[in-house]
Amino acid sequence: DVKVTQSSRYLVKRTGEKVFLECVQDMDHENMFWYRQDPGLGLRLIYFSYDVKMKEKGDIPEGYSVSREKKERFSLILESASTNQTSMYLCASSPLGTGMAEAFFGQGTRLTVV
């Protein structure tokens, strides 16, 4: 069964902490994405990656960075967590090169910054 796995379902962190959210996919997909989900705003793209060591900013990259050292793993980093980064974070992956591609999502990480 194909999978996108996020390392934590729930996290509570303190303001100013450096936070790592990990995502692993087992489908050999080229594309990986990080979104945040907030009520009334839907999903907003933070960063995405087409390949190892490549990254592109999405719509709301401020306060975040990413790392993709291996094809299957895409990490989201909050350099200095703030309360306005309290949200649900969703990782997704998809294959490159076809408009038919469906994105596969992880189960989400609900991050609370206190």
Partner 1 sequence: GDSVTQMEGPVTLSEEAFLTINCTYTATGYPSLFWYVQYPGEGLQLLLKATKADDKGSNKGFEATYRKETTSFHLEKGSVQVSDSAVYFCALSQVEYGNKLVFGAGTILRVKS
Contact residues for partner 1, defined by CB under 8 A: 4, 31, 33, 35, 40-45, 48, 50, 56, 58, 90, 92, 94-108
Distance CA 94, CA 74 (A): 13
Nearer to partner 1, 73 or 104 (CB): 104
Nearest distance from residue 30's CB to partner 1, in Å?
9
Q: Of 9 and 18, which CB lies nearer to partner 1 in the complex structure?
A: 9
Pick between residue 33 and residue 74 the one whose CB is nearest to partner 1: 33
Residue 110's nearest CA partner among 3, 6, 5, 2 is 6
